Structure formats: structure tokens, C-alpha cells
Amino acid sequence: MGVVGDKAMVATGHPLAARAAQTQLLAGASAVDAAIAADAVLGVVEPMATGIGGDLLAMLVPPGEAPVSYNGTGRAPLALTMEHIAALPQEKIPERHPLSVTTPGVVQGWYDLHQRYGKRPWSELFVDAIRIANDGFAVAPVAAREWALFRPVIARDPAAAALYRADRVPQAGEWFANPALARLLQEIAEQGPAAFYQGRIPEAAERAMRRHGGLLAAADFDAHFGNFCTPVSSKFRGADIYECPPNSHGVAVLHALAALDGQDLTIDSPKTTLAMVQAMEQAMGHAKKTVADPAGNTVCTTVVDGQGFAVTLMSSVFKRFGSGLVVDEGGFALQNRGHGFAQPGHINGPAPGKRPYHTVVPGAALRAGQFLGVFGVVGGAMQPQGQVQLLCRMLAGGEAPQSALDRPRWRLEGQRMLAIEQGTATPVIDALRAAGYIQPNGVGELGGRSDFGGAQCIMRLTDGRLCGASDKRKDGMALAVATP
């Protein structure tokens, strides 16, 4: 079933992050405080997935109130011009390119969330992250595998190679420390977001970008802001599902669930699985045509505090190690979200100061106006697909949260390519392949080693207790917290 508790619950992608959240909750923190503390730790222990050089989105469910979403995604450099784009192959920003770097939004996101919903002193939220970055930590098994797999990414930039030890990447259990990041986190704890968006860090980022031919500048840091907004929602099996609005592609979750809601969903049957894949394919196709700024890899933390406040907080540098370019003075990698832009002329075409199509999808569910769950699935394009599969299992199939997370998954990777996780029943595989979905062997950086995501989830059981679940595909855990 998962971890069951009566009061507060945490589910996140690393034990050290879970313990940091637990410490905050035991000290009287809000769910938001605990999630920030966990996210700061994740940026230290999973640098290939997230960090202060990336973005943040959150779904918040205050007790007795309507859900609220927060968009902390960064924008394209103000100096970006169409001449820069025209000089690129097919006028598309490549996956690992200096022009793919967008302004980081994590630190401002932490601060905005704390200003509205925090209870604990700001400076206390970063104690664990600072200590772990300074003293070091034992690299976890899944993180170690990804570190090794994406060693070529960090080897391209001498600063990244030195910071993340591209010459000999850390093995599972090996100690790794990041003193430069510890120093910066200490400054953020003492000075707030000004320590990141003004002064030495933006100037250092600008120098790094100039060395590589990028455009991100100190002025982009100074101009950054995030915003609270109203979530988009849809009904599925008697629950209201909430997602962040564009530029996130959470709308793909809602479109797929709406198409499935009226169908007979016998979970794990070939017919149902095919229907889910087809609904998801149509929903993602629609999202790619319509999602844009209306104005791989990721981490997820879900928390419910003792007062019933619930949050899904997700942060990301996009692809593993982001752009592969680092600000060595701050000990962090810059994200590559600009790769999410389409070509010029598309609604999601690049423009200065514009937010790109974003894969991060924090979600929540209510039933009859009452909190039902918070959840997220990391893994780039796997995020909406993973959510649909989990929600179908839990809400249509009646599966317990941990069981739903543990089941094998499928992943659409474009052009009728469908990766199917090991353990899927043969009749289901046969039905999907007979429908024309082929195996995506050797495609992309993963070389056919498809990422089926990593989910974190907290659900309210019918007896009122909380059930936390953490994906075995990651290094995380769920913790029940007996708050005062």
C-alpha cells in the first residue's frame, strides 16, 4: 500500500531530502517549508536532475481552499534575436547548446512560496542542504548510474568536468561534496533571493555564457519573476484533477483523462492499455500544437502537514545536468529549457523574455471539495504519461498508491514509438505492437534505455489517514511524520 500515517506525510526522491522535510515538520513547519527544505537538499544530492540553476513549479492545496499553482519557470535571454535562431540548423535550439540556457527560477520560487505559505524562518530551511553540500554525502545508487551515463555531458565544459568529476564520476556510496554550492546556499539563507539574482552570481553566469557563446546575462537574472496562478482542472472518476496551466503541459493530463473517463477501464487489459496510449498520444499531440507561454529530468517532493496543507513541488534542470554548462563560482549547472521552444512561427516559437514549453507537471486531486492527493512523476515527457497511468490505476482501478507506482509503465517517444517497461504482460505488449507502436531502440541520449520516470505521491485514504508512496525507480522514500 505504501507508508500510512495519521498526521503529516512526506514522499520525495532521496532519503536525505525526506529527513530534511521531516525535521522541518517536527519543528512546526508548513508543508511548503518542508518541501523547500527537501528541494534544496535534492539540488545537492541529485545535481543531474535539479538545482538552483533550474526551474520550479508547484501545486498547493491549502486546507478548505481552492488549489493554487505557482509558475517559477525562467525566460529566454532578453538579448535573444531571430538572427540567432536563423543561424541554427532547422532554426531550432539544440538540446545541449548555449542558446538553450534560460533564466533559473528555483530560488525566487522558494522565496515566493515561503512568503505566502511559510511558517519557519527562511534561514532555517537550508540548514540541511548547506551541511550536506559542505560536508558531503554518499552518492545514491540511481543517481550514480545516471551520473555515469551522462558523463559525456559534463565532460564538454571544463568547469562542469571539474565540478562533477567527469574524469572519474562518483560511484554508488562514494562521497561527494560541493563547497561552492554550500557557500551560495548560505548566502541565500542569509540574504534571500538577492544573493542569487543580484551581484556575483549573475555576473559569473554572464561570464560563463560569454565563454560559450550564450546570451544569458545578469540583466536576465534581475528581470526574473514567478507568479501564482489558477490551476486548470478536469473531472475523472469522481475526482477533480488539477494541473498547472501553460507553459506547463499539464493540460495533456486533463485531455487524456477526459477522453478516458467515460470508458470501461479494466486495468492491465490490452484494450484498456491501448485506449490509454491512444488518449495520451492525442493529448500530447494537442499540447505540442497549443502549449506556450501565455504572457528528463526533474525531482518531485510531495508533503502534507499536520494542518492538512498539501503541496507538490517539482524542480528541474530539464535534461540530465541541464545545458552541461556550470557557474563554477556557485557550484551549479544551468538548465537547458530553451530546447523546449519550437521553430519560429509556432505559438511556442522562441522570443526574448518568453517562457518555453515546459515538461514539469505537479498535480493534485480533490473529491467533493476535499483533499484527495498530491502527486508528480519526473522524467521529461514521461511526466503527463506517468500521471495518467497512476491516476487510472488508483482512481479507476482502485489500486493502492505504492502498488500503482510499482507497476510497469509505457512511454510514448514520438512517431508511433512506444517504449514498454519490463514486466508488462505479454498480451498487452502484443496488442500495442499490433496497433503499430514500435520499440524506440537507439533513439536520443538514452540510446533506447527509456526513462519510465519516478513518482512521488500522497493520497488520503477513505478512513482519513494519509498514504505516502515513493517510486522504486528512484532513490527516495515516504515518511509518516508524527507532528506535534
The span from the CA of 279 to the CA of 282, in Å, is 5
Would the pLDDT of 480 be above 90?
yes
Residue 335 in 3-state DSSP? coil
Instruction: Give tens-digit pLDDT for 8-39.
Output: 999 999 999 999 999 999 999 999 999 999 99
Q: Please, how many CA atoms are within 13 Å of residue 272, restricted to the half-sphere of its CB?
A: 17
The span from the CA of 210 to the CA of 278, in Å, is 45
Q: What is the pTM of this model?
A: 0.96
Residue 311 in 3-state DSSP? strand
Would the pLDDT of 329 be above 60?
yes
Q: Which residues contact 241 (CB under 8 A, 6 or more apart)?
A: 233, 234, 235, 253, 254, 257, 363, 364, 365, 391
Domain that holds residue 10: 3-481
For residue 86, what is the domain's CATH number?
3.60.20.40
Instruction: Give tens-digit pLDDT for 388-422.
Output: 999 999 999 999 999 999 999 999 987 889 999 99
Instruction: Calculate mean pLDDT across residues 76-93.
Output: 95
pLDDT at 448: 44
Nearest Cα neighbor of 387 from 234, 226, 269, 264 is: 234
Task: State the total domains in the chain.
Answer: 1
Nearest Cα neighbor of 13 from 471, 387, 479, 481 is: 471
- At 19, list the grid cell: 529527513
Please give the DSSP secondary-structure letter assigned to residue 170. Answer: P
Would the pLDDT of 107 be above 80?
yes
Instruction: Calculate mean pLDDT across residues 307-333.
Output: 96
- Sign of the C-alpha dihedral, residues 476, 477, 478, 479? negative
